[in-house]
Amino acid sequence: MGNNMVLEGKSVFGGIAIGRLAVYKKKDTQVKRIKITDTEAEIQRFASAKKTAKEQLSGLYEKALKEVGEVNAMIFEVHQMMLDDLDYNEAVSNMIQIQEVNAEFAVASASDNFSQMFAAMEDEYMRERAADIKDVSNRIIAILQGAIDGVTIGEEQVILLADDLAPSETVQLDKSKVLSFVTKYGSTNSHTAILARTMNIPALIGVDLKNTDEIDGKWGIVDGYQGALYVEPDEETLSKYEQMKREDEQKRHLLQELKGKENITLDGTKINLYANIGSVADVANVLKNDAGGIGLFRSEFLYLESKDYPTEEAQFSAYKTVAERMAGKKVIIRTLDIGADKQVDYFNMDKEENPAMGYRAIRICLDRKEIFKTQLRAIYRASYYGIISIMFPMIISVQEVKQIKEIIAEVKAELDREGLPYRDVEIGIMIETPAAVMISDLLAKEVDFFSIGTNDLTQYTLAIDRQNPKLEDIYDAHHEAVLRMLKLVVDNGHKEGCWVGICGELGADTTLTETFLRMGFDELSVTPSMVLKVREKIRGLDLSK
């Protein structure tokens, strides 16, 4: 076929995307001091970057207002105000004019000076603003450098190309503008891949992206079935893919007929089919795809989206909104699971040799109890407004569960004293370490349910880093060791009356749906866009044969 430039990669979600290519540039690129001659033009550049920054911030404010409530959204207003600060503006313009330097350098210097000044202040509130000065200055620098950050993508939807995207970067993106993700690194179970599935858009990893400056802005096609990226496709290729895209849409349309139908096999075996979410905004997708509940709310994304610890009120409002929108359907909130690939700056965590096996998830929560209690209070308060369950990540011992229960008892006693209403919620744990699998008989006595996190369980069982692109080929999601573990957990859970589900990516693998049903799973929680496909699969199975 024609003279197409084709780059190959591994697909992490099928589908076809056709659109302009946009290269994501990391925000923390170094700022160089460059001598300029036209200082007026440089001041003008600064002014127009500031204007764009303000537009971005007001967009972020609106978005945060809807997703995480007013208290959390306020920070974006504060940032807009900082941009109008006279001293700051004067410092930048003077530096450009007097020292004849580029705007990026002037902003970076002003940022350093002002943030140091704030950091040295007596007042705690003012001291904390030092980080905001840096943040808002980095935004301007990114705009000056032409980096894409959220709404700077422009009005057009694009195919986003990047070396890699960390969860803290994807939360900033205006996702309605992204048609597809294409990354050089990343892996099948990285959170960018999970995000692509939630968004129901094709995504490729392991694409050898070179000379990105040359392809930036060109027209492209992502074939999420074959794992290919076409740059400047010829007419023939383009029309072939436009046709495929139309067919995809028709298939999607047919799946819609499964809405409202039961998840039942031909011989009458039923299973709950829930969906995974990372933010309040994802609930729309859950409802659109007719999931029976939310099987995993990755609550850490509230922390990733925030510039500082989300308050109890902000969290309460997010959980309550989800519970209310789900209108009587179950919502399983997983408590904070940060660390490893999900880093949050304001937690100020030390660099670790081996973060996947490090200070993360429940380990942080049991160590920094005040953070954990704030979240538990918010969840319990929200429980009054719907059907909420709580589950805990990365459990390795019965002792941890007992400690968690003690903290829950403290939280409930506090709420009782304060007269705040809550319900007694179901308590579950994630089974995502081999240790938890092996003692699942003991753990089952302590909880109401198990949800298996196959993403982490596979990485810890096979000793294969789920983030390492080099190991993609040997990462075998169907490894017999993992499948045997799944069966053991179901049996041990059922013996003690626990229900057992899967919330890792494997739950959506339709080549295993029959195996899961035969093992006796009670629930599968999958990315919203896969709910109807898994339902279709279930309805075609006959387990009596």
What does 9 bind: ligand PEP, Mg ion, none (CB cut-off 5 to 8 Å by kind)?
none
Closest contact distance (angstroms) between CB of 186 and Mg ion is 17
Tell whether residue 174 is a contact of ligand PEP (CB under 6 A): no
Q: How many angstroms separate the CA atoms of 372 and 365, rounded?
A: 5
> Does residue 198 touch ligand PEP according to CB under 6 A?
no
Q: Is 170 in the site for ligand PEP (CB under 6 A)?
A: no
Q: How far is the CB of 176 from ligand PEP (least distance, A)?
A: 23
How many residues appear in the chain? 545
Look at the alpha carbons of 141, 143, 147, 150 in this order and tell me if their dihedral is positive or negative. positive
- Which residues make Cβ contacts (< 8 Å) with residue 391, sequence separation at least 6? 296, 332, 333, 334, 335, 427, 428, 429, 430, 449, 451
Residue number, 88 or 460, with CB nearest to Mg ion? 460
Q: Smallest gap, in angstroms, from Cβ of residue 455 to ligand PEP?
A: 3
Least distance to ligand PEP, CB of residue 161, Å: 24
Residue 503 within binding range of ligand PEP, rule CB under 6 A: yes
- Applying the rule CB under 6 A, the residues between 427 and 486 that interact with ligand PEP are 432, 453-456
| HSE-CB of 183 using CA atoms within 13 angstroms | 23
- Report the partner that residue 523 touches, choosing among ligand PEP, Mg ion, none (CB closer than 5 to 8 A by kind): none
Q: Measured from the CB atom, is 93 or 190 closer to ligand PEP?
A: 190
d(CA 339, CA 201): 27
Q: Shortest distance, CB of residue 459 to Mg ion, whole angstroms? A: 9
**E-only strand ranges, 56-202:** 158-162, 178-183
Q: How far apart are CA 506 and CA 8, in angstroms?
A: 24
φ and ψ of 470, to 5 deg: -65, -25
Out of ligand PEP, Mg ion, none, what residue 386 binds, judged by CB under 5 to 8 A for its kind, is none
CB of 379 to ligand PEP, least distance (A): 17
Query: Considering beta carbons, is residue 224 or 453 the nearer one to ligand PEP?
Result: 453
Rounded CA gap, 131 and 114, in Å? Answer: 10
133 DSSP assignment:
H
426 binds, among ligand PEP, Mg ion, none (CB under 5 to 8 A by kind): none
Query: Is 509 among the residues that bind ligand PEP (CB under 6 A)?
Result: no
Residue 454, contacted partner among Mg ion, ligand PEP, none, CB below 5-8 A by kind: ligand PEP
DSSP 31: P
Distance CA 432, CA 436 (A): 7
Binding site for Mg ion (CB under 5 A): 432, 453, 456
CB atoms within 10 A of CB 44: 12
Cβ proximity to Mg ion, 23 vs 452, nearer residue: 452
| Cα–Cα distance measured from residue 347 to residue 349, given in angstroms and rounded to the nearest whole number | 6
- Look up residue 508 and give its amino acid: A
- Nearest one of 356, 352, 363, 351 to 393, comparing CA atoms: 363
Report, in Å, the least distance between residue 72 CB and ligand PEP: 21
Report in angstroms how near the CB of residue 399 gets to ligand PEP at its nearest. Answer: 21
Contacted by 503, from Mg ion, ligand PEP, none: CB < 5 to 8 Å by type: ligand PEP
Q: Site size for ligand PEP, by CB under 6 A?
A: 10
The tally of CA atoms less than 13 A away on the side-chain side of residue 197 is 25
Q: Which does 147 bind (CB under 5 to 8 A by kind): ligand PEP, Mg ion, none?
A: none
Q: Is 251 helix (H, G, I), strand (E, B) or coil?
A: helix
Task: Return the one option of Mg ion, ligand PEP, none that residue 504 interacts with (CB less than 5 to 8 A, by type).
Answer: ligand PEP
Nearer to ligand PEP, 389 or 454 (CB): 454
**Which residues have C-beta within 8 Å of that of residue 348, sequence separation ≥ 6?**
none
Q: Cβ closer to Mg ion: 400 or 432?
A: 432
**Mask 327-346, x = binds ligand PEP (CB under 6 A)?**
----------x---------
Shortest Cβ distance from residue 318 to ligand PEP (Å)? 17
Using the rule CB under 6 A, is 504 a contact of ligand PEP? Answer: yes
Positions annotated as catalytic residues are 191, 503
User: Residue 143 and residue 163: Cα distance in Å, rounded?
Assistant: 19
Q: According to CB under 6 A, which residues from 231 to 260 bind ligand PEP? A: none
Look up residue 362 and give its two tokens: 């429940």
3-state secondary structure 364-427: HHHHCHHHHHHHHHHHHHHHCCCEEEEEECCCCCHHHHHHHHHHHHHHHHHHHHHCCCCCCCEE
Q: Which residues of 361-374 are buried (b: 16+ CB within 10 A; e: fewer)?
A: bbebbeeeeebbbb
**Would you say 25 and 147 are in contact if contact means Cβ atoms under 8 Å apart?**
yes
The interface partner of residue 187, options being ligand PEP, Mg ion, none and the CB cut-off 5 to 8 Å by kind, is none
298 contributes a contact to ligand PEP by CB under 6 A: yes
Binding site for ligand PEP (CB under 6 A): 296, 298, 337, 432, 453-456, 503-504
